[in-house]
Amino acid sequence: MIEEKSAKLWEQSKTRIPGGVNSPVRAFRAVNRIPRFIRRASGSKIYDADGNEYIDYVCSWGPSILGHGVKEIVTAVQESAAEGLTFGAPTERELILAELVHEMMPVIEVMRLVNSGTEAVMSAVRVARGYTGRDLIVKFEGCYHGHSDGMLVKAGSGAITAAVPDSGGVPAGYAKNTLVAAYNSPSSVEELFRQRGDDIAAVIVEPVAANMGVVLPSDGFLPFLRDITSRYGSLLIFDEVITGFRLAQGGACEYFGIEPDLVTLGKIVGGGMPLGAYGGKRDVMKSVSPDGTVYQAGTLAGNPVATAAGIAMLNLIRNRKGLYERLENRGRLLADAFRKACGDKVTVNQIGSLLSVFFTPYPVTDCQSARKSDLKTFSRYFSHMLDHGIYLAPSQFEALFISDAHSDEDLKRTCEVISAFRL
Ligand code: PLP
């Protein structure tokens, strides 16, 4: 496979952009390969600067659930752009989008639009603190909630250690407000509440973790979080930046039948344009300025072009018959192909259109067990797939995303390439 142009562009980019990329995982560092510089995408395929074609299972890290270049979304963007790129004033489209989101996710009674998932989480956390008058936030080791200071924290050792920042530039004093529990471990959460319960503003969770690879919540884990937060007067925040509109029209809230107090959205909600949102119960959202004291604002928030794309996307999803059933079937097909090819030497976690293969025979239920995956084998597997025209996330600790544009032919080809991989 030719990678000459990508290699050249990367070398040049490195002189002007950190690592040559505008988001670290794009540098392919974990797999030691040359990142593909993408020129265009269409349906289930992406094409790089050297003209290589790949079946794309990154799907822009989630937004492209209907594939790339969806006509209705592109037209909505073109038409709205022609009417003006930004006004800094309210538009009818923001109301239409808020109504649509509420219809699909009824728990979101009131919603604010922002520009990214990071911003959505940062703002929801502030609302939780403002509403409860408490400072502490509980998150789970291995869950990613964007790159705001307080969220770049994981557990040191075990579930109940003092939190330390993962990133340079995050003040240790700030990180102290983030407590870390182990995913799927009610006892680690109980212990934090027993010690600090009256100071905990919220528990934030990826209802299906997709940033330590895909890890499903065990039976009863999400209801347990709903129960313990209610008992202590804390809020439950579902970070649905990945799961929103992907697991079901109503995201994880619908899939698992849980009503959190706040939900954060990103990716699909913007139809591929930069858009995020946070919202939830009316009573809680009353805290947001100008109604309440929690300040949160944005020059481009509710951008008319991004909202047009979001509306087009959600309308397509709402009206597309059998979407989630198809995605689930495709997910199962790929999961079975991995199991068949690698036997009990791998663990495959799959739910709907999210999937991860871990190179360990043991169940992966949290961050510690995800880390047991053999990363050298992952690297080999990634290269095998890439060299055969299958574009996957270049890290063990990410998900494979399936879209409605992946055809039977794409899946057949992908299964063939999987079956040719030797452990
Ligand atoms: N929350 C989750 C669950 C995510 O997966 C991500 C990004 O991948 C974010 C928040 C941050 O979103 P963004 O990258 O749009 O800032």
Spatial contact of 378 and 390, defined as CB atoms under 8 Å apart: no
Q: What is the tens place of the pLDDT at every residue in 124-149?
A: 999 999 999 999 999 999 999 999 98
Ligand 1 mutation pick, 25, 215, 267, max ligand atoms within 8 A of CB: 267
The pLDDT of residue 113 is above 60: yes
Q: Tell me the whole-structure pTM to 2 decimals.
A: 0.96
Tell me which architecture the domain covering 4-66+322-419 has in CATH.
Alpha-Beta Complex (3.90)
What is the distance between the alpha carbons of residues 420 and 243, in angstroms, rounded to a whole number? 31
Helix (H) or strand (E) holding 416: helix 408-419
Q: Which CATH class is domain 71-319?
A: alpha beta
Looking at residues 398-405, what average pLDDT do you find?
Answer: 98
Q: Do 4-66+322-419 and 71-319 fold alike per CATH?
A: no
Strand partners, 138: 179, 203
Q: What is the tens place of the pLDDT at every residue in 197-206?
A: 999 999 999 9
Ligand 1 mutation pick, 167, 241, 243, 395, max ligand atoms within 8 A of CB: 241
Total number of residues shown for the chain: 423
Residue whose structure tokens are 């791998």: 346
Q: Residue 1's CB: how many other CB atoms inside 10 A?
A: 12
Q: For position 120, what pLDDT does the model report? A: 98
Q: For position 138, what pLDDT does the model report? A: 97
61 in contact with ligand 1, CB cutoff 6 A: yes
Domain map of the chain by residue range? Answer: 4-66+322-419, 71-319
Going from the Cα of 377 to the center of ligand 1, the distance in angstroms, rounded, reads 27
Atom of ligand 1 nearest to the CA of 117: 12
Residues 6+ apart with CB under 8 A from 372: 358, 360, 362, 364
Angle between helices 186-196 and 221-232 in degrees, nearest 10: 10
pLDDT band at 164 (very low <50, low <70, confident <90, very high): low
Q: Is 20 left (phi over 0), alpha (psi -120 to 50) or beta?
A: left
**Cα dist. 218→163, 331, 364 in Å?**
24, 19, 11
Q: For position 163, what pLDDT does the model report? A: 52
Going from the Cα of 77 to the center of ligand 1, the distance in angstroms, rounded, reads 23
Percent with pLDDT over 90 in the chain = 93
